[in-house]
A and B are shown apart, each in its own frame.
Chain A
């Protein structure tokens, strides 16, 4: 780590990142697994890596999770 943590974070790319197309295709499966407390990151590490890196996909995931949690509240 250097003295520029935000730049360092921005320029770091995870080789496991599957990209938006694949993450969006399976987001409903991933979100349900997370909502159920299942091993989502373990089962789909590439999706997890992407959701950490991609603002829009991460936002959609947060929204989908909120919708699923809203079903039980």
Chain B
């Protein structure tokens, strides 16, 4: 195995499989008891990673202990199905287990996103513009200074964004809906929602810059 592929000009080396990864591929491609035993080991590993991940995020989620565990088991089960279906797509660019960990962590994120709607903090179509000062850390004592800025921002949201960009902005920025929760609600995907918000942010900065509220700052990079 060798050769490179590129992702938008970024080369990703396909390396020779390490022995552990090669063994995983061998037994998962097998049939009978060996494959069943490998699936059991894989599932156990995915449960361990999923439980670790929900514990890591747990303090920030409004999900209790038994629910967290249930979420982890669901994520592991769905990840097992996804991995066995996609095992032929594993390219050896990392260890097999790293690739598998990624898939179960994505499942954890998706489940947490869907779980948000069991007890949403605010209706999806609400527009709580009063949250913006807190959202951006504006000092109430300096309201005279930022009131015009927020009015300009609101005008830009209404006038510069497409309806879908506006809806995404309102949901995520005003109403605090997590991006993955919005993905679940709109039956969309993370990339599409992120891109809408990315484009919205760019347009809003341009509008505020045109009106003298902030700079374009084209030289800023990290």
Which residues of A are at the interface with B, using a C-beta cutoff of 8 A? 1-8, 10-14, 16-22, 24-29, 31-32, 43-44, 46-49, 52-57, 59-60, 62-64, 66-68, 70-71
Contacts and interface: CB of A to CB of B under 8 A. Distances in A.
Interface stretch (B36-44, B101-109, B120-128, B160-168): B101-109
A5 B93 CA distance: 39
A67 B53 contact: yes
Given A4-B136, A13-B202, A64-B105, A56 B93 contact: no
Contact of B8 (A18, A29, A55, A66): A18
Contacts of B49: 67
B222 A17 contact: no
B60 to A, nearest CB: 9
Contact of B149 (A4, A31, A53): A4
Contacts, number: 129
B195 A19 contact: yes
A63 to B, nearest CB: 5
A27 B97 CA distance: 13
Contacts of B195: 19-20
6 contacts: A13-B201, A18-B7, A20-B195, A28-B101, A56-B194, A64-B102
The main secondary structure of chain A at its interface with chain B is helix
Given A21-B191, A54-B194, A32 B98 contact: yes
A13 B98 contact: no
B177 to A, nearest CB: 12
Interface stretch (B24-32, B62-70, B213-221): B213-221
A17 B102 CA distance: 20
